[in-house]
Homo-oligomer: A and B are copies of this chain.
Amino acid sequence: MKVSEKLISKADFPVFEKYKDLVYLDNSATQQKPRQVLERVEKYYREENANPLRGLYDLSVKATDAYENSREKVREFIGANSTKEIIFTRNASESLNLIAYSWGRANIGSGDEILVAISEHHSDLLPWQLLAKEKGAALKYLDCDKYGEYKADDLKKALTPQTKIFAIAQISNVFGRVNPIKEFAGICHKNGTLIVCDGAQSVPHIPVDVNDLDVDFLAFSGHKMLAPMGIGVLYGREELLEKMPPFLSGGEMIEYVTRDGATYAELPHKFEAGTVNVGGAVGLAAAIDYINEIGFEAIEKRENELTELAFNEMKKIPYVNIIGSEKAEDHHGILTFTVEGVHPHDIAAIFDADNIAIRAGHHCAQPLHQHLGVQSTTRMSLAFYNDEEDIKRFIETLKTIRRRMGYDG
């Protein structure tokens, strides 16, 4: 096994230099950026910036290389067969919308069924809800138990001959649990059903190989994995993408346009309308380099250790209730919880007063909250650049919450 070339270092992240006292535990919402990523993006704008793909001069060739090399880096990172399968989008949400608009409007009709896991983020739910409404298809949900677990048997029962597609996150942003995507993909494919994997929370944290998982589509966001905002990825199997109609149209995605019609460019360009975001793609590639240098082995080890530490300490506090699995190892850095008698907003406000950033609300998963019978929750989510001190500070504040809200003891 490859030994990491680079040690984990908080000092790489300028935000913690600026705010020495900050404990950032909202990593599932967005991650902080290491200077290596910021510097690479800046270098792009200083030395390689031009409109790529069509330019016949040196700077534009540099921009094209920067862009296409980033695509190749993403391809390798998720084990896709070809760069034709890697579409750059704005974020995971746009990736998922692209599938629903392009594949969905061409393949879903009245009487068809779309199956969505109940824990899906709104971004992997609303596009399907809108599609189902528009086409007169049925939107069905696969429910999980209170530990956040989905059972293969339930999936088999939920699939019907009409089920065209199943959408599920590899890691839910509320539970932190890894869903058995590979097994589910097998079940879906046996039924002739496609599987969309929302990798927004998994790709940044565990090694993901689209061929091994055997998913048809995978969506994720750069900003949740050290990269700048405004860049995301859609992976799709080549045969599928090939047959899909274009989604956004405009410059750069055509072969030939006349007054009456157009022929579209080859993959992946067919799905990238308008001037592409080279700066974002380059930033994502630099983020992947950074992750690779540390290595997922070290990243997972650190994230699991910190999760376990936090989980065990939280378990000791009687009025704290952790949502989802009762085992630390099922949480992958995401610990969503409630505190008896205290509203999540107040919890977040008290944490903020102690300079600890966590999130409160429904985490863009309202149907899941309804399913679990809670109105809103508080979530701490960590990244490899967090440390034990962060967790200690988190636990210390957590212990004071009820007292500071006016409860005795």
Residues in chain A within 8 A of chain B (CB atoms): 14-15, 17-19, 22, 24, 26, 29-30, 32-33, 38, 42, 45-47, 49-51, 54-60, 90-94, 96-97, 101, 118, 121-127, 129-130, 133, 139, 141, 221, 223-224, 228-232, 246, 248-252, 254, 256-262, 273-280, 345, 348-349, 351-352, 355-361, 364, 366-367, 370
- Which one of B126, B248, B274 contacts A257 once the chains associate, using CB atoms below 8 Å? B126
* A56 lies within 8 A of B359 (CB): yes
C-alpha spacing A124/B17, complex, angstroms: 45
Interface of A: prevailing SS: mixed
Residues on B with beta carbons closer than 8 Å to the beta carbon of A259: 118, 139, 141, 367, 370
Residues on B with beta carbons closer than 8 Å to the beta carbon of A357: 50, 55, 57-60
Which partner residue on chain B sits nearest A352 by CB separation? B57
* A223 lies within 8 A of B275 (CB): yes
* B366 lies within 8 A of A258 (CB): yes
Question: Within the oligomer, what is the number of copies of this chain?
Answer: 2
Residues on B with beta carbons closer than 8 Å to the beta carbon of A122: 249-251, 254, 257, 262
Known: A56-B361, A126-B262, A230-B277. 11 other contacts (CB 8 A): A26-B60, A29-B51, A56-B360, A90-B230, A92-B274, A93-B248, A123-B274, A127-B248, A141-B259, A229-B278, A258-B370
* B97 lies within 8 A of A273 (CB): yes
Residues on B with beta carbons closer than 8 Å to the beta carbon of A133: 261
C-alpha spacing A248/B126, complex, angstroms: 9
C-alpha spacing A7/B288, complex, angstroms: 40
- Which one of B251, B280, B345 contacts A229 once the chains associate, using CB atoms below 8 Å? B280
* A251 lies within 8 A of B93 (CB): yes
Which partner residue on chain B sits nearest A273 by CB separation? B93
Residues on B with beta carbons closer than 8 Å to the beta carbon of A273: 93-94, 97, 123, 126
